[in-house]
Structure 1
Amino acid sequence: MTFFYTLHAKKTKQFILLISISFFTAILLFTQNSMSIPVFSEKDSPKAVYKGENGIALTFDIGWGDEKAAQIVQTLIRHKAKATFFLSGSWAERHPDLVKKMKEHHFEIGLLGYNYLDYTSMEKEEIRKDLLKAQEVFKKLQIEDIDLVRAPTGHFNQEVLRVAEEMRLTYVHWSINTNDWKNPGTASILSRAKEAKNGDILFMHASDSAKQTNAALPEIIQSTRSVDKLVTVSELIANGKIETKIIP
């Protein structure tokens, strides 16, 4: 009988020890995981929208150039395709007629700052001044309902997102980068675009550096339409689920 109680007590101690080790291991893992959570993943931290639902959005950045933008706009018009253009204020100043044409044909316009600068190397007030200067340009062009913004170089951080939020602008990133500015060939650009599915935002350029984009555009439009309808970014993210990007 004594042997039974001794054995039972030994097993009980082993069980308690095992539970204690598991408990402290769980605490350690939780602590380590909590320490690795990016500070920008907090609930109230501003984030960049990079996906939506109910369609696919074609987006084009224009920071400079005098030739490719007009061709791309005409191709979109010819194919009755929706798109969102992110325009730098300095470019819009030099091409007011084309900006007005975009608006007349119901293309969506977003801000790409005024000068083509890397916002991640700038202070908050400098970023704000650049965006305000761009807004003034569009006001003079009688385009005041701009709610979207993208950093000129595509590089952004929490400072950029906070400025956008304070100015009541939605920062738009992308889920598919066609790399068209590298001019890898129309087949390569189209191949990347064909990865698009419901909710995706495609990133392209209409600056003169993107020499092959317009040639690939008709097939891109056809390909994306076969997957889902083409919409503007605002339509993509309105009244639906959106996905935001956490910036470490």
Structure 2
Amino acid sequence: MRRMYVVSAQRLKQILIIVTALLLAAGIGYAERDTIAAFSGNNQAPQAIYKVDTKEKKIALTFDISWGETRTVPILDILKAKNVKSTIFLSSPWSQRHPEIVKRIKEDGFEIGSHGHKHDNYSKYTDEEIRAQISKADTILTEMTGKKPNLIRLPNGDFDKRVLQIASDLGYSVIQWDTDSKDWTNPGTEAIINNVLSKAHPGDIILMHASDSCKETHLALPVIIDKLRQQGYEFVTVSELIAGTNVKSKEVE
């Protein structure tokens, strides 16, 4: 009987070791769930990228341009003078009307992404119309810059699962943002600065605009750049930010 008891105790010890290992593995899996969210389970479908999961103090300033001709150049001047990398999303009709500015954006080394063709909510379009809008912008921007864009920010930040899938089929990653400067509301220079500085974080994608409808961006931008640099941030393009890292996306209805 004593021998039977000893054998059972050893077996129980083995079972406890196995159970403990399984619990630890489950805990690790749970802890890493957020890190791998963009690549696991139901997230195999294309998703928009909002930010990057990193502890490195890298940040991407992004600008949308779809209208006007007076605000863009001052913003480009600031970015160049302060040696700030940036990703600029261009609507193709605006690009056709301002080829000289597009040329400068390219020559200054800024990353160029697509902002689509017609500035409208593509989620209300048919699949064929969505494809036509993205493809038309793709053709125009490729011809003007000599390089096919692979990033797109959809007009008004609007999309659904169909739009994401079609964009992916056409070779695009959809880029959103995690911090909105809200410069498009013209809330005042100090408000724009605070909107960015109060929310900026490592791996952040910041939304700003270089269209004429945004009248205060060029005033807020130098302060934002200087303050973020004082905090130790490095400015990188979106492509540099997302390369080899775990991106953060959100579920789409």
TM tier, shorter chain?
A: 0.7 to 0.9
Are 1:157 and 2:160 counterparts? yes
Q: 1:226 aligns with which of 219, 230, 236?
A: 230
Equivalent residue, structure 1, for 2:212: 208
Q: Which amino acid aligns with 1:51?
A: K
Q: TM-score, with normalisation over the residues of structure 1? A: 0.81
Q: Which amino acid aligns with 2:244?
A: N
Equivalent residue, structure 2, for 1:43: 43
Distance (whole Å) between structure 1 residues aligned to residue 237 and residue 89 of structure 2: 12
1:127 Cα deviation after fit:
1.1
Distance (whole Å) between structure 2 residues aligned to residue 189 and residue 142 of structure 1: 31
Are 1:70 and 2:73 counterparts? yes
Distance (whole Å) between structure 2 residues aligned to residue 57 and residue 139 of structure 1: 23
1:75 Cα deviation after fit:
1.1
> Aligned Cα RMSD in Å?
1.2
SS of the counterpart of 1:42? helix
Distance (whole Å) between structure 2 residues aligned to residue 66 and residue 188 of structure 1: 24
1:145 Cα deviation after fit:
3.3
Distance (whole Å) between structure 2 residues aligned to residue 42 and residue 153 of structure 1: 26
Q: 1:121 aligns with which of 124, 145, 155?
A: 124
1:181 Cα deviation after fit:
0.6
Q: 2:182 aligns with which of 165, 179, 182?
A: 179
- Indicate the larger mover: 82-91 or 216-225: 216-225
Distance (whole Å) between structure 2 residues aligned to residue 145 and residue 235 of structure 1: 17
- Contact 1:193-1:224 at 8 Å conserved across structures: no
Distance (whole Å) between structure 2 residues aligned to residue 144 and residue 151 of structure 1: 19
- Unpaired segments ≥5 residues, structure 2: 1-40
* Residues 130-169 of structure 1 mapped to structure 2, 5 A cutoff: 130-169=133-172
Are 1:198 and 2:198 counterparts? no
Equivalent residue, structure 1, for 2:37: none
Q: TM-score, with normalisation over the residues of structure 2? A: 0.79
1:106 Cα deviation after fit:
1.0
- Indicate the larger mover: 131-140 or 160-169: 131-140
Distance (whole Å) between structure 2 residues aligned to residue 242 and residue 154 of structure 1: 18
Q: Which amino acid aligns with 2:146?
A: I
- Contact 1:135-1:144 at 8 Å conserved across structures: no
Q: Which amino acid aligns with 1:179?
A: K
- Contact 1:193-1:202 at 8 Å conserved across structures: yes
Distance (whole Å) between structure 1 residues aligned to residue 145 and residue 181 of structure 2: 32
Equivalent residue, structure 2, for 1:14: none
1:240 Cα deviation after fit:
1.4
* Residues 10-49 of structure 1 mapped to structure 2, 5 A cutoff: 42-49=42-49
Are 1:237 and 2:242 counterparts? yes
Distance (whole Å) between structure 1 residues aligned to residue 213 and residue 186 of structure 2: 8
Structure whose CA Rg is larger: 1
Count of aligned pairs: 208
Deviations along 1:167-225, one digit per CA (max 9) or x if unpaired, are: 11000000001110100001110001102111000001111010000000001111222
SS of the counterpart of 2:246? coil
- Contact 2:60-2:204 at 8 Å conserved across structures: yes
Distance (whole Å) between structure 2 residues aligned to residue 198 and residue 123 of structure 1: 37
Distance (whole Å) between structure 1 residues aligned to residue 124 and residue 88 of structure 2: 24
Identity %: 40
